[in-house]
Amino acid sequence: RLKQCLSSRPLPQLNFDHFQILRAIGKGSFGKVCIVQKKDTEKMYAMKYMNKQQCIERDEVRNVFRELEILQEIEHVFLVNLWYSFQDEEDMFMVVDLLLGGDLRYHLQQNVQFTEEAVKLYICEMTLALDYLQSQHIIHRDIKPDNILLDEKGHAHLTDFNIATIIKDGERATALAGTKPYMAPEIFHSFVNGGTGYAFEVDWWSLGVTAYEVLRGWRPYDIHSSNTVESLLQLFSTVSVQYCSAWSKEMVALLRKLLTVNPEHRFSSLADMQTSPYLSDVDWDAINEKKEDAGFVPNKGRLHCDPTFELEEMILESRPLHKKKKRLAKNKSRDNSKDSSQSENEYLQECLEVVQQEFMIFNREKMNYYLKILFWGGDDIVRQWLRQPLLASRDRNFVAYFLGFMLG
């Protein structure tokens, strides 16, 4: 059986030419996002691409590499999962799950009135996502409506691990990282007063702020990016959150537990959430299998993103993606005719070479292919091990890449 698996055709090294670019759907401080279709399987994905030179100039390469490192090690039903990563001379690419339902920020801007039942499902789905991340020692640090995407049936998925961090063996994070209105009080306290830092509890505070905002239309605290850290610490110690009288008492009680200033008393685990009377009727297995109907289902007849992204890419972008192949060919011929010693910026060239060498290539399709070989070609003990539902993604990755290395 193993010989039959090994005789099948190996998967090729992936690059930009394996995808058909369909349209631009978003942009952020670290790159742009477009819908793509993989040519051989015709499967649709979202492709995030980041210009190498811009990342170097903004000192963002480390963040991109950290996000890649984290995404390669995780996979969960309520995350936006990484499928491929590759690079060319200009850009770094991440190909991830395509979620066509739009993010919660977009729907808030469209004045969608989310019901309590809809928000309850988001809380449950994000609880399972955070519980998984915690088991992988990951703090997301940027949970907000902008980073929660809906699929076509209305289920929530967490994205953007650009400022996420990994803590192990009782470690604590200390960096002032996040989006101010969603950052937990202990992050600011650690920055001002030092001390022991913070841990996974900060993500549960952000979930509380997000749930409150999606339900009410505005955040529990009037915080903006211009607020000083000192003023925010004073705000948390003096201002009480006002809850809507129309909300159920159980929902309010749950939000109070998430928005508890003292992290030691805050709900910050799946076990904590399961003690909430508001969630006492939740079938967590059904949630995990997406068997619960969403209270809000995005309209399938439209694309839930700002239409100006596509216009900007086509008209204003100086290096549009759809002209990349022709542009790279022209640059290559220009480079061949120019003495490399006449480089205008030797430092930039050195940095680009480092990025080229250090970039982490990933192919989840190939990883699954090798795991399948191991499963069907291995003995019963190996198959039993691979069936474990809680087997760490990094363990699967190691086995798959080791087998891939051994097979050449």
Task: Report the Cα–Cα distance between both ends of the chain, in Å, rounded.
Answer: 19
Structure tokens at 351: 């940095």
Structure tokens at 246: 């129309």
Please identify which of the residues 91, 103, 142, 146 carries the catalytic annotation.
Answer: 142
Query: Does the active-site annotation cover 40?
Result: no
Q: Report the distance separating Cα 200 and Cα 140, nearest Å.
A: 8
In Å, how far are 134, 164, 201, 247, 279 from 283, measured between CA atoms? 21, 29, 24, 22, 9
Structure tokens at 145: 């409506």
In Å, how far are 83, 211, 395 from 407, measured between CA atoms? 21, 48, 18
Structure tokens at 303: 């694309």
C-alpha 141: how far from chain center: 11
Structure tokens at 193: 């007063």
SS3 percent helix, strand, coil of the chain, rounded to 5, is 50, 15, 40
Burial tier of 277 (Cβ tally within 10 Å: 0-12, 13-18, 19+):
exposed
Which DSSP string do the residues of 229-243 spell out, in sequence order?
HHHHHHHHHHPPPPP
Is 291 a known ligand-binding residue? no
Which residues are 106's β-sheet partners?
A: none
Structure tokens at 268: 């910050």
Q: Report the distance separating Cα 97 and Cα 170, nearest Å.
A: 32
Note whether 279 and 144 are within 8 A (CB): no
283 by DSSP, 3-state: which? coil
Tokens 């759907």 belong to residue:
25
C-alpha 153: how far from chain center: 19
Q: Report the distance separating Cα 152 and Cα 344, nearest Å.
A: 48
Which residues sit in the known binding site? 48
Q: Which residues carry out catalysis?
A: 142
Which residues sit in the known binding site for ATP? 48
